[in-house]
Chain A
């Protein structure tokens, strides 16, 4: 299985500096998720690893060997594209076998591998169809199948689930995780959905505007975000921010996750309830402290809550302090 290193990757498109000095180390067999908002450069980074883009500066190493001057086909990886990129003129079987054909494998071997992968993804009955005759979900499976059939050590996923509806998405998430367990390949997975990130990744790399903000396990990122951005990006509902002065640290900004707040009589903070959203298993309550918005979750709603003054208790152990100016974590 392949390990991947990116060393000081910089990428410019004309005047735009898309990737800013990104270095990361991906372990062999790891499932790494690259996550971040639109335009943060995650797809660009992925494509740079794939060889579809050349970095302006920096190196990409696979298994310790520099591949930055190699063509995609020479890097021994496979990729699943966001829009699936299935070959329209070929059947599903031929789509799956395309890469193997190029390698010059005997047809018998190709057929057996294709069959194997098709069974794994439950698309055996679709082998003779054309892409245009498939549903979105089916196409997605074929795209994944095409990557699997080549049995590469490194598989890249570029937002593969973003074109699917919610139900399908969660199902596919599960299946992709299972595939990782079965194949053991190193997977680099790009998504803008932080739920996908935290559920799928062994580690998550958070990018923002071309900068690698933090790379750590989901748990670490959730509990110990490096900076304000990571804190707000990971975690749903989104983290609350209050000025540090409420907690005696005027130079800082404080991040409090919604689950760390509850309405209690002995709470330190005074707030006014604005709105309560019923979410089935709990309520999401919107409140305001001195003009600052706040959200917290509660099992029960606040009776006659609207515009009612309540007291909120905060779990002090779960506060995150960030420097007001830089956004970096302060202890």
Chain B
């Protein structure tokens, strides 16, 4: 009986793994084709006519390297900025009975319910009026806030799980609240901060719609916007697009697999608490 169960389980796993990987294989195959087409004549990922040409072209003939650096700069700064904001806010919400604290948390929760368009449109209109267009500053602020709710929620759940007596011991030992935060709480928050940071990074890395509105000079493009420019309604450079898609996805996938366990425990922790 147990053996049968194992076999059935393995069949299910294999089936869904194939399901999960199929599009990945497809895009790899397209990235190796060099005749600017997206059709596959066979199911092989690597055929006789395959090559790495598209990847090479990507780095030598397009602005891909610029976009790559842009994305790295933007994502990293957004992460640092966003996590700083989130960590401080989450700690405050966890430790202090602040007026407007619960309201703030509710606001954060309800931001999840906003349809994307609800902010996209005002951004578009407001940016036009205030000239924040074509500037990383606008992008920085907006990106930081799109991931803030989740990050604050995660970090707050983490801080809640640290007994208050730890800071109290530090305070009695001679530290101010601020010192207690930096010398005791932060050092033990490494894993939680790491997880949240990586999530924040990935959100910024993969974001398209807002960047498309804000950035206009192709030198400033981040990867998602740059990728989109390979596409045109009447002429898509499929090979380049696929190669770029592969390269853009790899860090995202890597980070994700590293974080998956931690992310989920954060989600379930937060959800059980309320």
Contacts and interface: CB of A to CB of B under 8 A. Distances in A.
Interface of A: 47, 50-52, 71-73, 77-79, 81-83, 85-89, 98-99, 102-103, 146, 150, 156
B49 interface: no
B100 interface: no
Given A73-B175, A85-B163, A98 B168 contact: no
Given A72-B171, A73-B174, 17 more contacts: A50-B168, A50-B172, A51-B172, A52-B171, A52-B172, A72-B168, A77-B172, A78-B172, A79-B168, A79-B172, A83-B163, A83-B165, A85-B165, A85-B168, A87-B166, A89-B187, A98-B170
B217 interface: no
A99 B174 CA distance: 6
A72 B180 CA distance: 12
Contacts of B174: 73, 99, 102-103, 150
B179 interface: yes
Interface in B208-265: none
A86 B179 CA distance: 16
Interface string B157-178: 0000001011011111111100
Given A83-B163, A85-B163, A89-B187, A150 B168 contact: no
A47 B173 CA distance: 14
A78 B171 CA distance: 10
A47 B174 CA distance: 15
B45 interface: no
Given A89-B187, A99-B173, A150-B173, A52 B179 contact: no
Contacts of B176: 71, 73
Contacts of A83: 163, 165
A83 B163 CA distance: 9
B172 A73 contact: yes
B188 interface: yes
29 contacts: A50-B168, A50-B172, A51-B172, A52-B171, A52-B172, A71-B171, A72-B171, A72-B172, A73-B171, A73-B173, A77-B172, A78-B173, A79-B168, A81-B168, A86-B169, A87-B166, A87-B169, A87-B170, A87-B184, A87-B188, A89-B184, A98-B170, A99-B173, A99-B174, A102-B173, A102-B174, A102-B175, A102-B179, A150-B173
Majority DSSP secondary structure for residues of B touching A: helix
Contacts of A82: 165
Contacts of B188: 87-89
A194 B3 CA distance: 60
8 cross-chain pairs, A with B, having the tightest CB-CB distances, nearest first: A99-B173, A85-B169, A85-B165, A102-B174, A72-B171, A73-B174, A79-B172, A81-B165
A32 B170 CA distance: 24
Contact of A52 (B163, B168, B184): B168
Interface of B: 163, 165-166, 168-176, 179, 184, 187-188
A50 B173 CA distance: 11
A67 B70 CA distance: 55
Nearest to A80: B169
Contacts of A77: 172
A79 B179 CA distance: 18
Listed residue (B165, B172, B176) with the most chain A CB atoms within 10 angstroms of its CB: B172
Nearest to B168: A52
Contacts of A156: 172
A85 B171 CA distance: 12
Contacts of B165: 81-83, 85
Contacts of A50: 168, 172
A82 B163 CA distance: 11
A305 B102 CA distance: 63
Contact of A85 (B166, B175, B179): B166
A73 B180 CA distance: 11
A82 B173 CA distance: 16
A79 B187 contact: no
A146 B169 CA distance: 10
A85 B179 CA distance: 16
A181 B176 CA distance: 31
A71 B170 CA distance: 12
A52 B177 CA distance: 11
Nearest to A86: B169
Listed residue (A72, A103, A156) with the most chain B CB atoms within 10 angstroms of its CB: A72
Contact of B173 (A88, A89, A98): A98
A73 B167 CA distance: 12
Contacts of A89: 184, 187-188
A192 B172 CA distance: 23
A89 B189 CA distance: 10
A166 B75 CA distance: 55
A72 B176 CA distance: 9
A87 B170 CA distance: 9
Nearest to B162: A88
Contacts of A79: 168-169, 172
A83 B175 CA distance: 19
